[in-house]
A and B are shown apart, each in its own frame.
Chain A
């Protein structure tokens, strides 16, 4: 069974640009969550989707948005990039409606904003 796939793995963007990251969950998993990881703040929850609906959102500005498609694939978008948005963005999928503390993470997308 294929794991969680995130694309691209690495990305360099300029301040003010926007970026879209993609996540394909494990087949059959319907819950997808996104996290931002930085050395200073650690791993922080961004948002969670289940069956194309956003269930929860973390404490991030509106520049961060996401969506989930009918095949459970998810995208997150960051607009008007700032230097502080440089981070490893991780996607995790879970099988059930209620999520699970046994989440399966992708390898992440390393975003660098210059």
Chain B
């Protein structure tokens, strides 16, 4: 699977837009980009998945440039409850769970 690189931590304030970028230089043609959110002592929660260009749902947007070597998770108008660890994963959309590899993630801290 393609290795991902994302910032270890980020800080922001309530009401701001937060963009977390993930680098995946070795992404394969059939790989999708998936983001998960995890709160302390809870399981990760699926946020969004995309293949190219832009995907938007009620929670976030995912921007993927044409070369797909990076992606940006955008969280609009964050609140304190968005404080969590965010994981970027790259892999086939349908594959064995053994291939779902979570990296270190980005620890996002939102301040009042």
Contact = CB atoms under 8 A, between A and B. Distances in A.
Interface stretch (B5-13, B15-23, B38-46, B66-74): B38-46
Contact of A48 (B32, B34, B42, B98): B98
Interface string B88-110: 01011111111011111100000
A99 to B, nearest CB: 5
Contacts, number: 75
B94 A99 contact: yes
Contacts of A101: 32, 34, 49, 89, 91-95, 100
- Name the residue in B98, B102, B104 with the highest tally of chain A Cβ atoms < 10 Å from its Cβ: B98
**On chain B, which size bracket covers the interface?**
20 to 34
**On chain A, which size bracket covers the interface?**
20 to 34
Contacts of A98: 94-96
Interface of A: 4, 31, 33, 42-43, 45, 48, 55-58, 88, 90-92, 94, 96, 98-108, 110
Interface of B: 32, 34, 41-46, 49, 89, 91-98, 100-105
